[in-house]
Structure 1
Amino acid sequence: MAPLKHLEMENPIIDACFRDFCSSHGILTVEDFLLHDIYELAALAERQENADRLKEGITVMLSLIEVKCRPWLNGMELLEDMQRSKHTLSSGDKETDSLLQGGLREGQLTELVGPSSSGKTQFCMQAAASVAEKQDGSVFYIDTGNSFSARRIAQFICGSSDAAALRKRVLSRISCHTVYDIYTMFDTLQGLEVALRSQVQKNVNEYRLRLLIVDSISSLITPILGGSGSQGRALMVALGYLLKKLAHEHNIAILVTNHTVGAGESGKTKPALGETWKSIPHVRLMLSRDNRNSNCTISILKHTSMPSGQTVKTTMTRNDNQQYL
């Protein structure tokens, strides 16, 4: 990304004084700023004689990030994205694949929304097992709630005469990374992007990354959205942009999960993270489960090439003592 100096012409607040303050904390580019803990930076600015001006500069930077990192929204780009030849990856669930006309589409960000214990994590692990086993691809799994289970993934792998060797081979293609805050998330995605570019330069195609899972995206974003400032919203938009950039440039299918929140007196629930995030995913799916049994319903809330409202019923199988997540 651009050095901070390149922003001064249109934004005088990003002057030499502000840049010196940032550089003293290792921030030389917009990317450095994005990866830094903004709350820590604001606290450091508070100790300076020109605190008000520095904090204004931080706010302006966040506003610039939000504007420049807005997701693709115009109709022509959506049409081109839909018409571009892309493969689909099986989610591991036949009914869901049928609903989505093949499964999770490479190059797109799919969001799975659902209340607690509806089966979102199980869906993610099932998709990871399916891609690693049946489609000879690798999976990058970001776990934000310590809910990843290699044992559970192994249970999704089809049996064979050499089941142990198959499980070992499949699990070796799934890389799990534990992330508990949004700044570590940016670091993780940055490292992944560097690795992917290196593979392209070296023409490495064996077991290329085909699926990136973030379970759950809302666990990282919700804590930074409090208050009336724009910092949290700007970081949320920037994170969405980086995910879609990875999907688009490296032809990866991305699956993220999100929880639901109450919608006031109506008693209905809606996806968390608000209207700003709503525009980011290419596809939004709602997952609900009948608490009396294992029957689930998946419905389309948003899709680039299909009408919303379509639903399918499926069954989330599980072993005894295995809890929904």
Structure 2
Amino acid sequence: MPPLKSLELKFPIIDSKFLQFCASNGIFSVEDFLVHDLYVLVAFAERQSNSKELKQGITQVLSIIDNQHQPWLNGVEMLEDAQQNKHVLSTGCEGIDLLLQGGLREGQLTELVGSSSSGKTQVCLQVASNVALEHGVMFLDTCNSFSPKRIACFINQLLNPSFKEDKQKILERIMSSILCHSVFDIFQLLDILHQLQFKLRSQVNTGDGEVRLLIIDSISSLITPFLGGSGAHGHSLMISTGYLLKKLAHEHNLAILVTNHTVGGVGGVPKPALGESWKSVPHVRLLLSRDRGSNMCNISILKHPCLASGRTERFMIYD
């Protein structure tokens, strides 16, 4: 995203006074603007003599962010992208791997939708455990859902009994491949994603220990508090977050898995939260449900670039 100063000629409201105001808050680019707490920024603007113009400038930058989108690709570029070395990462859940014809694809953002008791976190923990056998995993925990004990249980189930002598060392190696961050607001998430972007750009492609999977459990808990009302900043933050996630996935062959809760829809039928604007963000949307009083789960495709919607598989989840 561009430096704010480059927008001055095209957008008159982004003048020298607005740029000076932003600089006094450590904001020099559109990315800096995203990471900054907008409530604090607006409150600071209201204390200035030119508060009206400053708030118009803030609204203008939000509008620019809102219009960000992936660049258009022609057919040749799309074919080249599809032929790149983008692997499929097994989730460790037989039903999910069968449904997705192998697992999570690098370069794609996959969304797992389900109610609070459907087992989304358990799936995330199992996927992290399985991928960490060979690759680095970053787990962003927004609800205190990350459980090292559950991770250890999953890994113990995966280890071959013949490795008993070195089991503890193997367990420690795999556990050390999972980097967990507690994230409790959208600004912290954006900051971490920018740090990850810098890390991936400087990452040596050795194939061993590279971050290949990013999990956010859950994305909706960070975005929902900013939606609603008459302001546009919540919607802008949501779209910008989605844009950055897809950019990370595409440019660094990263598989990204995010979870989203459900809300009541027409006739009481549950539907994914975050609304219609978010609907177009994930490459893949999966709906997870759980049989009442059972560990049996259903996983179905809501959206997929290659596979038919409505396909469903069943699998067992372990508490």
Q: TM (normalized to structure 1)? A: 0.92
Give the superposition deviation at 1:191. 1.1
**Could you say which residue in structure 2 is the equivalent of 1:147?**
145
| Equivalent position amino acid for 1:224 in 2 | F
Matched, 1:294 2:295: yes
Matched residue, 1:312: 313
Instruction: Give the SS at the match of 2:67.
Output: helix
Structure 2 unaligned spans of 5+: none
Contact 1:66 1:238 in 2 (8 A): yes
Alignment pair present for 1:21 and 2:21: yes
Count of aligned pairs between the two proteins? 312
Question: Match of 1:310, as an amino acid?
Answer: R
Give yes or no for the alignment of 1:222 onto 2:220: no
Out of 153, 156, 159, the position equivalent to 2:154 is 156
CA contact (8 A) 1:119 1:316 kept: yes
For 2:30, the aligned partner's letter is: V
**Number of the residue aligned with 1:89:** 89
1:321 maps to none
1:238-258 residue CA offsets vs partner (Å, 9 max, x unmatched): 111111111111111000000
Distance in 1 (CA, whole Å) between partners of 2:3 and 2:85 is 36
Pair 1:283–1:75, CA change in 2 (3 A):
farther
Cα drift, residue 126 of structure 1: 0.2
Asked if structure 2 preserves the Cα contact closer than 8 Å seen for 1:295 and 1:313, the reply is: yes
Structure 1 residue aligned with 2:171: 167
Q: What is the rounded CA distance, in whole Å, between the counterparts of 2:21 and 2:198 in structure 1?
A: 28
Q: Distance in 2 between matches of 1:292 and 1:204?
A: 45
On the 8 A contact 1:106/1:252 being kept in 2, the answer is: yes
1:62 partner amino acid: L
What's the offset of the Cα at 1:27? 0.9
Q: By how many angstroms is 1:30 displaced?
A: 1.3
Q: Is the 8 A contact 2:137 2:178 kept in 1?
A: yes
- Rounded to whole Å, the distance in 2 between the matches of 1:212 and 1:192 is 10
| Inter-CA distance 275–73: structure 2 relative to 1 (3 Å threshold) | farther
Distance (whole Å) between structure 2 residues aligned to residue 184 and residue 54 of structure 1: 24
Deviation per residue, 1:55-85 (Å, 9 max, x gap): 11101100101102x2468795776655544
Q: Is the 8 A contact 1:82 1:305 kept in 2?
A: no
> Is 2:211 aligned against 1:213?
no
Structure-2 separation of matches of 1:241 and 1:80: 21
The letter of the residue matching 2:214 is L
1:42 is aligned to 2:46: no
Write out aligned runs for 1:147-296 (5 A). 147-157=145-155, 158-159=158-159, 160=161, 161=164, 162-200=166-204, 203-264=205-266, 266-296=267-297
> What secondary structure sits across from 2:10 in the alignment?
coil
Output the CA distance in 1 between the equivalents of 2:207 and 2:97. Answer: 25
Q: What is the SS of the residue equivalent to 1:313?
A: strand
Consecutive unaligned residues of structure 1, counting only runs of 5 or more, are 319-325
Structure 2 vs 1, CA of residues 101 and 73 (structure 1 numbering), >3 Å: closer, same or farther? Answer: farther
Determine helix, strand or coil for the equivalent of 2:259: strand
The verdict on how the C-alpha distance between 1:256 and 1:290 changes in structure 2, with shifts beyond 3 A counting, is same
> What SS class does the counterpart of residue 309 from structure 1 fall into?
coil
User: How far 1:205 moved relative to its partner?
Assistant: 3.8
Q: Is the 8 A contact 1:138 1:173 kept in 2?
A: yes
Q: How far does residue 217 in structure 1 lie from its aligned partner after superposition?
A: 0.3
Asked if the contact 2:95/2:299 (under 8 Å) is kept, the reply is no
**Residues 140 and 212 in structure 1, CA contact (< 8 A), matched pair in contact too:** yes
Rounded Cα–Cα distance in structure 2 between residues aligned with 1:102 and 1:188: 29
Query: Percent same amino acid among aligned pairs?
Result: 58
Q: Is the 8 A contact 1:110 1:281 kept in 2?
A: yes
